[in-house]
Amino acid sequence: MPGTVPPLRIGAHEIWPPVVLAPMSGVTNRTLRALYKPFGFGLTVTEFVSSNALQYGAKRTMEMIDQHGVEKPVSTQLWGSDPAIMAYAARVVRECGADIVDINFGCPAPKVTKTEGGSACLRDVDRCEAIMKAVVAAVDCPVTVKMRLGWNETALVYTEVARRAEAAGVRALTLHARTAKQFFKGEADWSHIAALKAAVGIPVIGNGDLTDPRDALAKMRESGVDAIMVGRAVLGNPWLVGALADLFEGREPRPYPAAPERLRFAVHHYQMMVDEWGEARAVPQMRKHLGYYLKGFPGASELRERLMRTQTAAQTLEIVEATIVRLEQSQPVAA
């Protein structure tokens, strides 16, 4: 395929464009993945799933790994601290349709790290290695790892974990260029991503502070990474991914749509969530998404406050539809 960058290859999967949707708790469910995939994601990743919870087959946990099918290839991300349980969970998600199994060594959330999962694993490189070896041995699909630089600034272990990952048979690595203790504060240091790319022979995916398509392409070229992963920046703005795909294919990026069109897509997202998950679950979940779609709008703060108080889909959509009409009426008419 002609373009300015080659596809990402993970095992037998050729991923184009080399843009990956980051795993986000309570966000990257099957509905959002199916909605956002057509904008230009080459690979989508599920919410990160507890390996311990998968042992019990709870309905909510199984829903987290469910797929529509249209968003394939799909990577299912697992977190945990026990190699044997992680291996069992990997077999479960593979049987449920995961094309790739991703190991979470990156999440800094206390609910994950308090049980030594996620980025807390980086405090014990030997345990990281044991988990990777167990998961690779458990499944017949590619295994990847997403990690941070280390637990804190004095323990940057990403290169050591990466070398052990490559030796264990891991097929690609994603690095979020912050430490666990940083959470999302400060700036992601892409010099570490470049260093990781130079240290291993498997594909490297760069992650962190990718909010502008041209800047993202520049970071990709400067670091030499094989792909990029975007997360928070794309929420409410999937058109960012379309712009990236345009640049990767050697075209000028399409302009972002006007406010009314963005909100019409938000309405479509809302209605799909209600249809798939029911109103009781969709209404509270969609409050945060509507907040993302409203970024940069005139009167957005007041609108968000009103939408936070709605209790039904009908109330919410009435406000959004009225906003669309108001925005359209306020647009200048061409001479």
Transcribe 178-239 into DSSP letters.
Answer: S-TTTTT-S---HHHHHHHHHH-SS-EEEES---SHHHHHHHHHHHT-SEEEE-GGGTT-TH
* Pairs from 53-56 (Cβ < 8 Å, separation ≥ 24): 54/78, 54/88, 54/89, 54/92, 54/93, 55/85, 55/88, 55/89
Catalytic annotation on 107? yes
Longest dimension (CA), the chain: 69
Q: Burial letters for 40-57: b for 16+ Cβ neighbours within 10 Å, e otherwise?
A: bbbbbbbbbbbbbbbeee
Contact 13, 73 (CB under 8 A): yes
Is the torsion defined by CA of 219, 224, 226, 229 positive or negative?
A: negative
Q: Which of 96, 107, 121, 141 is catalytic?
A: 107
161 burial (CB, 10 Å; 0-12 / 13-18 / 19+) is buried
State the Cα–Cα distance between residues 69 and 57, nearest whole angstrom. 21
State the catalytic residues: 107
